[in-house]
């Protein structure tokens, strides 16, 4: 999921983010792994709540 603030932080546009992952924009692999883990936990939580 992305918004204008996220796109601006990576120096791109929301349109350019579509179909890409954090790894496409962030060279820090440790940070990317943290983001991906956090996203997965949020999606799992949302799935169990619905």
Domain-wise residue ranges, the chain:
4-49
Tokens of 44: 């799992």
What are the structure tokens assigned to 18, written together? 């579509």
Its pTM stands at 0.62
pLDDT digits (tens, 9 = 90+) for 11-27: 999 999 999 988 998 89
Are 17 and 10 in contact by the 8 Å Cβ rule? The answer is yes
User: Half-sphere exposure of residue 5, counting CA atoms within 13 Å on the CB side?
Assistant: 0
Q: What is the pLDDT of residue 22?
A: 86
- 12 close to 20: Cβ distance less than 8 angstroms: no
Q: What is the largest CA-CA distance in the chain?
A: 35
Best CA proximity match to 4, nearest among 15, 32, 42: 15
């Amino acid at each position: 999921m992305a918004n204008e603030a996220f796109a601006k932080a990576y120096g791109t546009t929301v349109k350019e983010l579509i179909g890409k992952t954090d790894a496409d924009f962030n060279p820090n692999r440790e940070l990317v792994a943290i983001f991906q883990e956090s996203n997965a936990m949020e999606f799992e939580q949302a799935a169990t709540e619905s």
